[in-house]
Homo-oligomer: A and B are copies of this chain.
Amino acid sequence: MKVVVTGGAGMLGRKLGLELLEQGSLTAADGAASEIERVVLFDAVPQPAPLPDDPRLESVTGDIGDAGQVAALIDGSVDSVFHFAAVVSAGAEADFDLGYRVNLDGTRHVLEACRAGGHRPRLVFTSSIAVYGGEDVIDDRTPLTPQTSYGAQKAAGELLLNDYTRKGYLDGRALRLPTIVVRPGKPNLAASTFASSIIRDPLSGQTAICPVKAESHMPILSPRRIVAAFLHAHEMDGDALGHNRAVLLGGISPSVGEMVDALGRVAGGTVAARVDWQPDAMIQRIVDGWPQGIEAARAATLGFDHDATMDEVIQAFIDDELGGRIAA
């Protein structure tokens, strides 16, 4: 079978694509396990690092906002699509038109391309807890009241995914992701970037600034668990999801102080001491507006796992990204 991963040069898309090659098979539309013959990583930008030498792997650069390119990418030969391509939250706030072009039009192009084949491919769509807004604790019944363009675009994407699924044009599933911790690589412009920096940078010997109070909470999920959740979402029986194909993923919600305490337990006090607490009122205000916790009963019932402890989140990062080595 042939699988397309949009946003395939991004952190999650690339990891998922490589995991698919590792795994070697997926459930096809007919419900049977099928060998993966091709994985196409599609993105607006080139891969950030060389890809493994695997004849099943293909990297394509293109524009998700261009309907023709997406139709050519996702033709009738594609069995499954993982749709990660997006302009992130801060980006969609800064460039309103670009956000709608990529996050809404791009998603419609993917939906239309899936529909055009007439063969009901599986589509796993990346949503976000940005679809909520202003709630302290979110659960499966929390109304969607996004407070960002990104959140509005993701919520609209879910509506369309459900509608195309209901009509039988494709077999959609969507996952609402919490903050991803620990992100490898460099900090980005997101207000949440510090939540990864305060773990990642001390582990490689660098000082990291924490701009919020130790009591600040946020729901998090590790890249390892997110990749597993996307595979699980793809493999499960779509009918188990009922009318609403969007699943709020669970996650622990440690305070920032608890995150740094866990860093000390896993990597030692010297590493944890590299966190430099420098309050930033603007970032504090943004973080105070985020949900402080998730009660994701539905995800648990559907068999989605999450990290059990912050220690586990940190250890997964050390194993997956640092080859087990810490700059102690």
Q: A residues near B, CB below 8 A? A: 96, 133-134, 141-147, 149, 152, 155-156, 159-160, 162-163, 166-167, 243-244
A133-B243 contact given A160-B156, A162-B152, A166-B147, CB 8 Å threshold: yes
Contact B143 A159 (CB under 8 A): no
Chain B contacts of A133 at CB under 8 A? 243
Contact A152 B147 (CB under 8 A): no
A20 and B72 alpha carbons, distance in the complex (Å): 50
Contact A167 B243 (CB under 8 A): no
- A159 is contacted by which of B96, B134, B146, B166 (Cβ under 8 Å)? B146
A96 and B169 alpha carbons, distance in the complex (Å): 11
- A144 is contacted by which of B96, B143, B167 (Cβ under 8 Å)? B143
Return 27 A-B CB contacts under 8 Å, by A number: A96-B167, A133-B243, A134-B243, A141-B141, A142-B143, A143-B143, A143-B144, A144-B144, A145-B162, A145-B243, A145-B244, A146-B159, A146-B162, A146-B163, A147-B166, A147-B243, A149-B163, A149-B167, A152-B159, A152-B160, A152-B162, A152-B163, A155-B159, A156-B156, A156-B159, A156-B160, A159-B159
Which residue on B lies nearest to A161, using beta carbons? B152
A90 shortest CB reach to chain B, Å: 14
Which residue on B lies nearest to A167, using beta carbons? B96
A144 and B146 alpha carbons, distance in the complex (Å): 13
